[in-house]
Amino acid sequence: MSIRSDAVSLVRAMGVAFTVLGLAVDPATRAQPADLALCDRVAADPSDPDKPASVAGVREIAPSDIPTAIQYCRTAAAKSRRAMYQLGRAHAANRQYPEAVGAYRKAIDKGSTTAMVELGVMFGTGTGVPQDAAQARALFERAAQGGNPRGVTNLAALSGGAPPSDPQSRALFTKAAESGSAEAQYQLGLTASDDVTARAWFEKAAAQNHAGALERLGAFAQSGRGGPQDASAAKAYYERAAALGNEDAKAALESARCRWAIRDKQGKVVTKLCF
């Protein structure tokens, strides 16, 4: 048998083995090395920009999958920064914090913005490392500069929930927003100096289905802030935001539906009429 035939047979055999284990490799990942495919299946982060669209990811690594994740991600990490980051995730899930920090640092050296965020969270919360707000901020800034949405969000959280007012940090947010970060666009809209600019940023973020931006656009369209007043557009924005779970949008829709209130002699609302 030729070398090529042997290789094909081996790949087919490996595919059968993975199916038996409940880890069948789908067509989109079949071209990847088997170790990376298995690493992705049990340890990929849904929010990681490095993750291929064909890989679903898991919010948390299942305890029973941790040994598998460590084994296959360690092998795949030699050639993949995504796998190196996922190895860090697996060690963190196993409370092996020194190993997690080491893997995150190696992934950061290769440019993983999600590893920057995770290591920043560790420093920000003091999980497995001494708490260090300065290091957390520096890591979030690097991630935000790379356009990572969570880097932007966490950097905003360190600044009280909005983009910092100092020129250097605000420039960083602007760069992330201009690079396409919906979260950065939304944050800049919240602190814009005028309604027209705010609405423009919200429109950019809403185009990417950012729930908060859609809710804000609904409010702007309802009142005519920063642009034309349009009740039907406001309702459409609110409905899209509500479908994504935004509670303020849900409340706005309910308020629009139940506009009339019946009050008692003391003026207290006893019921609302909804249409």
Q: For residues 3 and 116, state if they share a domain.
A: yes
In a domain, 147, yes or no: no
Confidence of residue 152 (pLDDT cuts 50, 70, 90): confident
Cα torsion angle, 220, 226, 232, 236, sign? negative
Q: Which of 80, 108, 131 is the last residue of a domain?
A: 131
Average pLDDT taken over every residue of the chain: 83
Q: For residues 6 and 123, state if they share a domain.
A: yes
In a domain, 184, yes or no: no
Q: Which residue has the higher pLDDT, 17 or 134?
A: 134
Confidence of residue 5 (pLDDT cuts 50, 70, 90): very low
Q: For residues 198 and 78, state if they share a domain.
A: no
Coil vs helix vs strand at 157: helix
Q: For residues 13 and 90, state if they share a domain.
A: yes
Q: For residues 54 and 127, state if they share a domain.
A: yes
Q: For residues 120 and 34, state if they share a domain.
A: yes
Q: Which residue has the higher pLDDT, 18 or 85?
A: 85
Coil vs helix vs strand at 148: coil
Q: For residues 26 and 99, state if they share a domain.
A: yes
Q: For residues 241 and 125, state if they share a domain.
A: no
In a domain, 143, yes or no: no
Amino acid at 125: T
pLDDT, position 28: 36
Q: For residues 123 and 6, state if they share a domain.
A: yes
Do 219 and 225 contact (CB within 8 A), yes or no? yes
Task: Tell me how crowded residue 62 is: count the other CB atoms within 10 A of its CB.
Answer: 12
Token duo for residue 105:
């640092």
Closest CA to 91 of 74, 106, 111: 74
pTM: 0.61
Do 41 and 54 contact (CB within 8 A), yes or no? no
pLDDT, position 258: 61
Q: For residues 114 and 227, state if they share a domain.
A: no
In a domain, 4, yes or no: yes
Q: Is the pLDDT of residue 9 over 70?
A: no
Q: Which residue has the higher pLDDT, 176 or 236?
A: 236
Q: Which of 83, 106, 131 is the last residue of a domain?
A: 131
- Residue 270 has φ and ψ, to the nearest 5°, of -105, -25
pLDDT tens digits, residue range 214-235? 999 999 999 999 999 999 999 9
User: For the domain that residue 198 is a member of, what is the CATH number?
Assistant: 1.25.40.10
Q: What distance in Å separates the CA atoms of residue 141 and residue 120, rounded to the nearest whole number?
A: 10
pLDDT, position 107: 97
pLDDT tens digits, residue range 41-80? 999 999 899 999 999 999 999 999 999 999 999 999 999 9
Q: Which of 103, 131, 159 is the last residue of a domain?
A: 131
Residues sharing a CB contact under 8 Å with residue 10, sequence separation 6 or more, in sequence order: none
pLDDT tens digits, residue range 246-274? 999 998 888 877 665 666 667 776 555 55
Q: For residues 4 and 104, state if they share a domain.
A: yes
Number of domains the chain is built from: 2
Q: What distance in Å separates the CA atoms of residue 209 and residue 211, rounded to the nearest whole number?
A: 6
Q: For residues 104 and 206, state if they share a domain.
A: no
Q: Range of 230's domain?
A: 192-275
Q: Is the pLDDT of residue 181 over 90?
A: no
Coil vs helix vs strand at 180: coil
In a domain, 238, yes or no: yes
Q: Which residue has the higher pLDDT, 190 or 164?
A: 190
| C-alpha dist (Å) from residue 198 to 62, 213, 233 | 41, 10, 17
CB under 8 A, 24+ apart: contacts of 25-34: 26/54, 28/52, 28/54, 28/55, 29/54, 29/55, 33/76, 33/79
**Cα Rg of the chain, angstroms:** 24
In DSSP terms, which residues pair with 271 in a beta bridge? Answer: 262
In a domain, 187, yes or no: no
In a domain, 146, yes or no: no
In a domain, 178, yes or no: no
What proportion of the chain, given as a percentage, has pLDDT over 90?
59
